[in-house]
Amino acid sequence: MQPPPNPPSNLIDGRAIAAQLHAETAQRVAALRSRGVQPGLVFVRVGEDPASRVYVGMKERMSAKLGLNSTTRVLPESTSETELLALIAQLNSDPAVHGILVQAPLPKHMRQEVVYASVLPQKDVDGFHPLNVGKLLLGDRTGFRSCTPAGVQELLIRSQVCTEGAEVVILGRGEIVGKPMAAILCQKDRHANSTVTICHSRTRDIAAHCRRADILIAAMGVPEFVRGNMVKPGAVVIDVGVNRVADPAAPEGSRLVGDVAFAEVQPVAGKITPNPGGVGPMTIAVLMQNTVRAAEMAVS
């Protein structure tokens, strides 16, 4: 039997880098517990969206592994916005709860911006509260940063990717990834100082923008949008997308793909994240870090 081929040398291993962060987080958890403090994290899920159940389950398991005290509050789809806000107010006032994560998506009858703004900024470990978003734009590191873009920056740092003066193109202007990612990398700060372009559905000739990028971050939510001929040779490509596409050959009749056509882009890229195994593990790793930091701040 032939041995399995070696993985491509230009892969950015998100699982391995996330494991480094988890090891650091575990040390901080141990330090807190030696002082009689156990970081508390509550997940709030409304309804039974299948993807939400999977994502919250992954976060629960990692919380338990690291020694956090995590619980999940599941509310029916019919829950009113007022009832959800009442639960969040209760969690805000509980000193044993250091972090609150309201899992997206929310039912259509709930105003997402109102719900996220109701979480105390010091417990907003997802980084969605307007105060934390404002602090991010101002370069104020006392706030919490959105987990996925903060995780992408950590991937770049630990993969020795230089962002200083780099041309960064971000595909997607969403509130969760695109906008905060741009805010992080354009800061006058170490591991930032990039020239950032945000492309979106109204951008003219997106391919031309992509080919100019030293670092290309795809977060559009369009399956395999980035093709090989859209990438400058040697560029760093970060695939944030998670898309389900039909595949009759797959056991469930569908499979998950990113925003990057990996097989085409990997031979061209200097470094590239796989999908899965790239950005996803980093999102959870930063969430755990944010929660521990919230506990540290609460007892400082």
- How far is the C-alpha of 164 from the C-alpha of 202, rounded, in Å? 28
* DSSP assignment letter at 161: -
Amino acid at 143: G
Residue of 103, 122, 153, 187 with catalytic role:
103
124 catalytic, yes or no? no
Our measurement of the distance from residue 49's CA atom to the centroid of its chain's CA atoms, rounded to an integer in Å, reads 19
59 catalytic, yes or no? yes
- Residue 221 near residue 241 (C-beta atoms within 8 A): yes
- Residue 148 near residue 279 (C-beta atoms within 8 A): yes
Residue of 59, 123, 179, 271 with catalytic role:
59
Strand 195-199 to strand 167-171: parallel, antiparallel, or no bridges (unpaired)? parallel
Q: Phi-psi bin for 93: left (phi > 0), alpha (psi -120 to 50), beta?
A: alpha
108 catalytic, yes or no? no
26-32: long-range pairs with CB below 8 Å, 24+: 26/66, 26/67, 28/292, 28/296, 29/66, 29/67, 29/68, 29/292, 30/67, 32/292, 32/295, 32/296, 32/299
Q: Which residue shows structure tokens 């400058």?
A: 232
Residue of 123, 124, 126, 266 with catalytic role:
126
Q: Which residues are catalytic?
A: 59, 103, 126
